[in-house]
């Protein structure tokens, strides 16, 4: 059984970790499956329906986003200036050069797997936007590389800042990473910007890192639907997310995708000495 520390952070048992690992593998496979459908002319609602069918009827899992605090769909589709929590719509048609984040979470046997990635629709966009997408991914990898037992959570924000600051990109502060396992959101809160939270990581902790990086100012606003977060200055935003497990000497990237392993920029097991 898991144990909960005084600060609310859960330390998961090996048996529970194996169940979380299964959920994460399915979440990663679902994102991989979605790759083929992101193209000009498709609507974000079509993407939602495809993902929902794959999760429910093929993978036999529960889409965690659906009806979560009233969220109406199975995935979040955040296009261009949308930071996160974009609601799929039959009116939103993807165009060449758009960028879109697909964020999805599955529940398998009571345990959660959560991940997201960026797509450049049609494969090409302007240089500033491509730099934004690339820097956001590299900032996630840089943050993963600092994770190990004894590392402090504020090292995550420092690592992300070092990657994005040279581009004059900004880090969203309103939305953060989180603990996850037998609940969708739990302690710890994982801040993506420089901060003073010096709590140390411990073996058995499971959490997400999901930097949201803006091309302009970091400030956001929420649309009238109560969900969709957009940049105040209407400039583009990008996000990548992985779910992580702290292990002896480093971290396990529980939602790693095949393309990432082939590229060799990160691996499932990262020993961060």
Annotated binding-site positions: 85, 103, 114, 178, 185, 210, 241
Residue 216, classified by CB atoms within 10 Å of its CB into exposed (0-12), middle (13-18) or buried (19+), is middle
Q: Specify binding-site residues for a divalent metal cation.
A: 103, 114, 178, 210, 241
Closest alpha carbon to 240 in 227, 259, 222:
259
Check if the beta carbon of residue 243 is closer than 8 Å to that of residue 111: no
Q: Rounded to whole angstroms, how far apart are CA atoms 11 and 246?
A: 10
Say how far apart CA 172 and CA 232 lie, in whole Å: 11
DSSP state of 199: P
Q: Is the dihedral of CA 163, 169, 170, 171 positive or negative?
A: negative
Annotated binding site for substrate: 85, 185
Please name which of 205, 242, 254 lies closest in space to residue 8, comparing C-alpha atoms: 205
Integer Cα distance of 273 and 121 in angstroms:
38
d(CA 171, CA 137): 13
- Asked whether 80 and 74 are in contact (CB, 8 A), the reply is no
Three-state DSSP class for 10? strand
């Amino acid at each position: 059984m898991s144990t909960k520390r005084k600060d609310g952070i859960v330390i998961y048992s090996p048996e529970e970790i194996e169940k979380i690992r299964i959920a994460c593998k399915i979440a990663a496979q679902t994102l991989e499956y979605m790759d083929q459908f992101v193209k000009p002319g498709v609507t974000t609602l079509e993407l939602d329906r495809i993902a929902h069918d794959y999760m429910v009827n093929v993978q036999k899992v529960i889409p965690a986003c659906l009806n979560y605090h009233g969220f109406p769909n199975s995935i979040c589709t955040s296009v261009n200036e949308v930071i996160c929590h974009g609601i799929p719509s039959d009116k939103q048609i993807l165009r060449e050069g758009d960028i879109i984040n697909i964020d999805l979470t599955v529940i398998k046997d009571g345990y959660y797997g959560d991940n997201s990635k960026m797509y450049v629709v049609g494969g090409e966009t302007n240089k500033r936007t491509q730099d934004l997408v690339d820097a956001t991914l590299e900032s996630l990898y840089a943050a993963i590389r600092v994770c190990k037992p004894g590392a402090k959570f504020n090292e995550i924000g420092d690592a992300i800042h070092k990657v994005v600051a040279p581009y004059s990109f900004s880090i969203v502060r309103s939305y953060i990473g989180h603990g996850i396992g037998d609940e969708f959101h739990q302690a710890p809160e994982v801040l993506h910007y420089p901060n003073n939270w010096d709590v140390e990581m411990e073996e058995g902790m499971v959490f997400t890192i999901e930097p949201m990086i803006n091309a302009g100012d970091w400030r956001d606003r929420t649309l009238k639907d109560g969900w969709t977060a957009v940049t105040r200055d209407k400039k583009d935003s990008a996000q990548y997310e992985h779910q992580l497990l702290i292990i002896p000497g480093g971290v396990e990237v529980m939602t790693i995708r095949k393309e990432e392993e082939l590229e060799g920029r990160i691996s499932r097991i990262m020993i961060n000495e």
